[in-house]
Structure 1
């Protein structure tokens, strides 16, 4: 079982953490987390837990988040964020993914896969996989990555990330990165068995040669045609 924990960055009530027009980071990252978790339900051997307030009404301190993640026993943790530069709209932009300063091999490999897929899906500037001494990366016991999907101070990126289309693109990249790193397999869709069979009659002719001709044509196409008087 692969235990994956998720946290949607900062809460609605966190000071700052918003676009110049007041749109909160959480309004975007919460949607991405929700979609990711829904999509991962389609894979075998995955258990998930959200390590934040899913209502956005409170912001858990980082030490509490780390404690919750470690206590639950996550194998992987993903923190979801939007970047920012300055206080007004500007041209700083792009996607980047962080791992701890020591570049743990598994976390780095996951980050590289997720980053590549995010750049492909979102088509923002590739800022690469970077290292940082973030507490959420340092004080957790598992492979952890922190994603900065885009800049909420970049008008073009901010507007796109508010759309369902781009939130789905971001979620798809995260899920595909996880699947590639851990060899996740989708659940088989079971088709209910049935003992009921239905017959379909094709054609009725007064000339037996016409009937034989249609029967042969159907057989040639792989259908079990039977000629009945």
Structure 2
């Protein structure tokens, strides 16, 4: 059976991870989407494990150690992006992999980015490489997804919208399912 770790990035009390007006906390978006993704993947017959907890901040090290210990088949970290601390025009969706990522990570990231852009109709910022701890320290295919900018007024409103959260979750689940069924494990 395929096991996927879903990571609602950051935590409920992570400092600074909110919209400029303070109305949207990033973790509220990340965790809501994670719950939906889990539901959709379980419907596809997969096992889903969360790396985060709803009531406390879990360190990046604890998250990656859990993924490695459980030997999950893939790791997907869900985020809402930000550019600075004030409202600005940076917008769109991007997916990250580690600079020395495996072919399987790159395939998953490409599927993820295409699925999110198709479902959410936002600007395509592409698949990018970054030295993020959750990508560097995991020993399985891993991606980090940025579903829109909390510092862009229109996208901040979308990130708080239930319908948009469902769109993101379905797109993420679709990409993971497509990746699994392509045999890229």
Aligned to 2:7: 7
1:1-229 paired onto structure 2 within 5 Å = 1-22=1-22, 23-44=24-45, 46-53=46-53, 55=54, 57-183=55-181
Post-superposition CA distance 1:119-139 (Å, at most 9, x none) = 111111100000111111111
Query: Which portions of structure 1, spanning 4 or more consecutive aligned residues, are displaced by more than 3 angstroms?
Result: none
CA shift, 1:182, in A, is 1.2
Please, which runs of 5 or more residues in structure 1 have no aligned partner? Answer: 185-229
Please, which runs of 5 or more residues in structure 2 have no aligned partner? Answer: none
TM-score by length of 2: 0.95
CA shift, 1:103, in A, is 3.0
The structure with higher relative contact order (CA 8 Å, sep 6+) is 2
Cα-Cα RMSD: 1.1
- Pick the structure with greater CA Rg: 1
Taking the aligned partners of 1:41 and 1:135, their CA distance within structure 2 comes to 27
TM-score by length of 1: 0.77
Say which SS state the counterpart of residue 43 (structure 2) adopts: coil
CA shift, 1:86, in A, is 1.2
